[in-house]
Amino acid sequence: MSAAVLGKVVEAQEKLRRARLTEWRDLVKLIADGKEPEPSRVESVLSGVSKSLEDLSAAVSLLQRRRALAKQLELAAKLDAEEKRIGEQIAAEREKVQKAAAACDAIIDPLGWRLREIENERRRAEQAADELRKTCPYPEIKEEIDTITRQLAELEQERQKLLQHASHCNGNASSCEARADNRDAFEADYRAEAAKHREKAAAATEKANELKRQIDELFKADAIARDKALRP
């Protein structure tokens, strides 16, 4: 079999795999929506992806749970305006009732309780986000996050090495400069050597700064990737 033919076969198999995976996800969403698919479709999809009814049930339960968690996040997002409004109302009411402590407490206490409820909702939202990320069923998203995490670790390790090297070179330069100040006969040599060390330190620092810029961009990409994991 020629390489071209083999490539087409591989491409066709990959296309079929993706199509079956799409059918599987569509089936899971259909059942999670409360709709009843044809038994023949269920049998066909399960056969195509080599999964059992238990696998299907687990996938449906997971999707329903993730949808519920996603709704929790949506609720938290809507609380920002209410939190701000309540904070402003508290400040205004405090000014009005400075001379009437009892009346002030009667107005503010319920608002404070609501703020505590909002804090609890936020904690639940954070827990929901953590669970959504931990239970993310999309391998492509997990792979993206893992790749970025690995790249961040590698770049940070390299950046630290460069910073250590720059510090070492600056130390050597300082030592040479101190000797140049104390030994007139070799002053020119020591100052030339110090300049070389300073140049090496500057080059290492510049590389470290460039790595920092790359790391900052990766952190942005990491945040985007992790947000993808929040969808049901």
* Angstrom distance (rounded) from CA 185 to CA 36: 94
- Say if CB 139 and CB 228 are below 8 A apart: no
In this predicted structure, what is the pLDDT of residue 80? 79
| Alpha carbons within 13 A on the beta-carbon side of 168 | 7
131-152 b/e (C-beta count within 10 Å ≥ 16 → b): ebbeebeeeebeebbeebeeeb
Query: 21-44 pLDDT, tens per residue?
Result: 888 899 899 999 999 999 988 898
Mean pLDDT score across all residues of the chain: 87
Q: Does the structure show a pLDDT above 90 at 106? A: no
pLDDT in tens, 56-80: 999 999 999 999 998 888 887 788 7
* Domain-wise residue ranges, the chain: 1-51, 69-135, 139-228
